[in-house]
Amino acid sequence: MSNLKGRNLISITDFSKEEYIQVLDIAEGFEKNPKQKILSDKVIATLFFEPSTRTRLSFESAANQLGARIIGFSDPGGTSVQKGESLHDTIVMVSSYSDLIVMRNPKEGSSRYASEVATVPVINAGDGANQHPTQCMLDLYSIRKTQGTLENLNIACVGDLKYGRTVHSLVQAMCNFNATFHLVSPEELKLPSSVKMSIKDAGLKYYQYTDIRDIVPVADIIYMTRVQRERFPDPMEYERVKDSCILTASMLKGCKDTMRVLHPLPRVNEITVDVDSTPYAYYFRQAQNGVYVRQALMAAILGVK
Amino acid sequence: METKKELTVSAIENGTVIDHIPTTALFQVIHILGLENYKEEVLIGNNLDSKKIDHKGIIKIKNKHFSKEEISRIALVAPYATIINIENYSVVDKFQTEVPEHIERFVKCANPKCITNAEAVPTKFDVVDKENLKLKCHYCEKFTTKETLTFIR
């Protein structure tokens, strides 16, 4: 039994290194045997104040496979929220109807606040541009699964490193595991200095690049993210840099055999489809791993694992 | 010079002297403490010579003592100002303002997307850099700095 019973998961820093590993170990068990009716007496509320495909379906699939009942909404239209009910009141009410709340809300910090108001544990399924810790947990799971370890790896992050919250969380989490970071982005979308500071504070190294080809031979993991056109005030600037962050199958010549490409999805054009059929593509499997990791988190927090 | 000397030394019977205020922060301090509406005697001096800092501002407020929270507010714009409590023309307490480790309720989060700006949630911050004034929001985890600092009154 883990010591995570009754805990909230709001930010990636809420769990220690040992606790991440504990969750990954439990998730491995679910990967081997995902259909265990261990939550059949539990009600899980999934409150999605903004639309989400993968995260919501993944949580609901995870809960269903464990036999839990699900209540909630996939967008606030038609609910009391649309009538102007406060987040506070919604959470107080839902607390009395459920054993665990999974929440996505566009307001940053909303999940932390919900966890202070709720009488049941809260899992953050994304609070605006702030945190999305279960994505980070499934990234860690996928890295450990493909590399056999989380320690001493060369992690390359590519694309929008400035605004991409998944990259920020991944970098912070991997700082616990003696990683070396290779950061590939257009000049305008470099990793924020506060995140670089976490790397330095951990006594680790990072290198910055503008061309993806430079990191292919050294990387154990290439973590791709989407460069969004709307981040660029000048469309010409976007046109100039956009190809520097597109990964094609031909670029992967010379990579390590064990290297795997990860992406939080949805993909647009930053990984060309010819990569999908290479042995290096792992992003769809990565999304599947999300179910096991969310099963592990729900089971541990509800005290049955 | 005579006038200045008289202003800086003129005594009050009861009340508070706030000394060594950076000249650029004097009017902010007045505003933060709501002294515009204070009905009793308030003496204000600015750009005065100081041994401690280059030039300083000073405020003397008759019959008024400030709470810990009010002192914390001052500290954010005037770190290292001196607070002197006076009773019967004597100094009963004298200390420097210090930026606290945590701040609750009186500073607004600079992130417009923060939940504290959308609902009636009292703000909470950890002070991560006292020297350059950098506050980390307990909720959205974004930073509010000297440049983006706004008080909730």
pLDDT band at B2 (very low <50, low <70, confident <90, very high): very low
Tell me: the pLDDT tens digits for A207-260? 999 999 999 999 999 999 998 877 777 888 888 887 788 999 999 999 999 999
Return the exposure string of A253-269: e unless at least 16 CB atoms fall within 10 Å of the residue's CB, then b.
eebeeebbbbbbbebee
CA distance A288 to A38: 20
Is the same domain home to A71 and A207? no
Residues B15 and B82 occupy one common structural domain: yes
**Backbone conformation region of residue A102, classed left if phi is above 0, alpha if psi is from -120 to 50, else beta:** beta
φ and ψ at residue A32, rounded to 5 degrees:
-70, -35
The whole domain housing A162 covers 134-287
Tell me which residue range forms the domain holding B109.
102-148
Residue tagged 């987040």 (tokens): A87
CB A42 within 8 A of CB A102: no
pLDDT, average across residues A290-295? 98
- How many structural domains compose chain B? 2
Beta bridge partners of A223: A157, A262
Active site residue A213: no
pLDDT-based confidence at residue A78 (cuts at 50, 70, 90): confident
Number of structural domains found in chain A? 2
Q: Do A87 and B138 touch (CB under 8 A)?
A: no
Q: How many residues does chain B have?
A: 153
Cα separation, A23 vs B9, in Å, equals 66
Q: For position B60, which CATH number holds?
A: 3.30.70.140
Residues A146 and A277 in one domain: yes
B38 and B87, same structural domain?
Answer: yes
Cβ neighbour number for residue B149 with a 10 Å cutoff: 15
Compute CA distances A36 → A70, A130, A134, B27, B135, whole Å: 16, 33, 21, 66, 45
Phi, psi for residue B20 in degrees, rounded to 5: 60, 40
User: What CATH number is attached to the domain comprising A52?
Assistant: 3.40.50.1370
B50, B110: one domain:
no
Residue linked to tokens 């930073």: B143
A171 in a domain, yes or no?
yes
Cβ atoms within 10 Å, residue A153: 19
Both B114 and B43 in a single domain? no
- Rounded distance between C-alpha atoms, residue B123 and residue A48, angstroms: 24
Residue of B nearest to A89 (CA): B119
**Dihedral (CA of A152, A154, A155, A161) sign:** positive
A83 as an active site residue: the answer is yes
Are B85 and B110 in the same domain? no
Same domain membership, residue B144 and residue B115: yes
Same domain for A273 and A160? yes
Shared-domain flag, residues A250 and A295? no
Residues of B in contact with A106 (CB under 8 A): 113
pLDDT at residue B1 above 60?
no
- B14-52 pLDDT per residue, tens: 999 999 999 999 999 999 899 999 999 999 999 998 887
Closest residue in A to B140 (Cα) is A109
Q: What is the pLDDT of residue B9?
A: 52
ipTM: 0.89
Q: Could you tell me which residue, A228 or A98, shows the higher pLDDT?
A: A98
* Residue-averaged pLDDT of chain B: 90
Same domain, B88 and B35: yes
Q: Are residues A42 and A157 in the same domain?
A: no
Does A1 fall in a domain?
no
> Could you tell me what percent of chain B has a pLDDT over 70?
93
> Does residue B153 form part of some domain?
no
Using CA atoms, how far apart are residues A25 and A43, in angstroms rounded to an integer? 24
Q: Is A50 on the interface with B (CB under 8 A)?
A: no
Spatial separation of the C-alpha atoms in residues A56 and A50, rounded to whole Å = 10
**Shared-domain flag, residues B66 and B24:** yes
First vs last Cα of chain B: how many Å apart?
37
Query: How many angstroms separate the CA atoms of A250 and B139, rounded?
Result: 44
Chain B closest CA to A102's CA: distance in Å?
Answer: 17
In this structure, the answer to whether residues B11 and B76 fall within a common structural domain is yes
What CATH code is carried by the domain that includes residue B135?
Answer: 2.30.30.20
Q: Tell me what the mean pLDDT of segment A13-17 comes to.
A: 93
